[in-house]
A and B are shown apart, each in its own frame.
Chain A
Amino acid sequence: MYLYIVAGLALFVSLIFSREKTLRAVKIAARRFMMILPAFLTMIILVSIILFLIPDKVISNYLGADNKFTGVAIASFFGSITLLPGFIAFPLAGILLDKGVAYMVLAAFTTTLMMVGILTAPVEKAYFGIRVTVIRNVMSLFIALVVTVVIGLAFGEIF
């Protein structure tokens, strides 16, 4: 909600300074939005289907795998292919932690969830092209794995 307040205030201030420029800003906003709308629609469709196929219950069942390393692999997979808002993802991680799931599994899950976006790829591709999208996501997966290892070491889960 505050985004609307900020945007509204900014529009108002802009209007005081220049009517003409404000009108141009709104036009740019509308044009940019329409340009990217198909990519956003594609993303919404993908998200709605993936969340149906893989509900959070399924994720929490799989992350509790007995072997930590299997758990990390499964967690990275789910984290990469899904898109959960923070207000669902972190409470879920909190519940799993209480159930005894390792920190490194949760690190793999939350970090790939944040950084690797298969579902946001349509939007990313529309702006930056397929090559950048692939490279950035692969690098993000690598970063997530480094984070996972360091978390594992810091919480004494590896040695």
Chain B
Amino acid sequence: MKRNDIIKIAGISGYVLFLIVSLLLGFGPGEKIAHNSASFSAEMLKLLPGAFILIGLFEVWVKRETIERHFGEESGARGYLWAILLSGTTLGGLYVGFPVAYSLYSKGAKLSVIFTYIGAVAICRVPMTIFEASFLGVKFTAIRLLVSIPLVIVTSMLLGDYLTRRNYRIIAGK
């Protein structure tokens, strides 16, 4: 673990150093990468602090029983429905979905439901779906959703069952 951290820190410092030198010397590719980095970081700064504040509030205020009832073992089909509705309101994409899914899981949501949530975050975010339909047509978007949502649910159930059989536990930060 320790050695990995050192490699990571060295890698990140090397990258930053490369960008700084490139900017100073006007090295084209380095400048381009620096620009990509800045614009993607800005994109994430628009989302992550807000998302993590909401996650913090969720952890403090929402009772475990509530999540267990709606997203847990006894939730049945409702759990999947909630997961998909919740995903529709998630902004950003997978990288915002992962921490939210982890929070849901740590409050008692079942595995197949959180994987459904993650899959749905990828494909059913409302703003993105509207945007897609306006460029590729309603028919295209409708078919994509009708085909992918059931498959996301089925594959999430399979993955959930498989992991439950193997006594899988999520331990974040590893």
Contact = CB atoms under 8 A, between A and B. Distances in A.
A159 B67 CA distance: 47
B37 A10 contact: no
Nearest to B8: A38
A146 B151 CA distance: 9
Interface size class of B (residues with CB under 8 A): 35 or more
Given A114-B122, A132-B159, A126 B55 contact: no
Given A38-B8, A40-B95, A127-B170, A45 B15 contact: yes
B147 interface: yes
B95 A123 contact: yes
A107 B172 contact: no
A111 interface: yes
Contacts of A117: 94-95, 122
B140 A103 contact: yes
A6 B119 contact: no
A24 B37 CA distance: 32
B73 interface: no
A71 B15 CA distance: 34
A107 to B, nearest CB: 7
A120 interface: yes
B51 A3 contact: yes
Interface in A104-147: 106-107, 110-111, 114-115, 117, 120, 123-124, 126-129, 132, 135-136, 139-140, 142-144, 146-147
A1 B42 CA distance: 12
B44 A40 contact: yes
B122 A115 contact: yes
A139 B143 contact: no
A110 B132 contact: yes
Interface in B12-60: 12, 15, 29, 32-34, 36-37, 40-41, 43-44, 46-57, 59-60
Nearest to A114: B122
B50 A107 contact: no
B43 to A, nearest CB: 6
B6 interface: no
A51 interface: yes
Given A29-B52, A29-B55, A3 B37 contact: no
Contacts of A38: 8, 12
Interface of B: 8, 11-12, 15, 29, 32-34, 36-37, 40-41, 43-44, 46-57, 59-61, 91, 93-95, 98-99, 101-102, 115, 118-119, 122-123, 127-128, 131-132, 134-136, 139-140, 143-144, 147-148, 151-152, 155, 159, 162-163, 168, 170-174
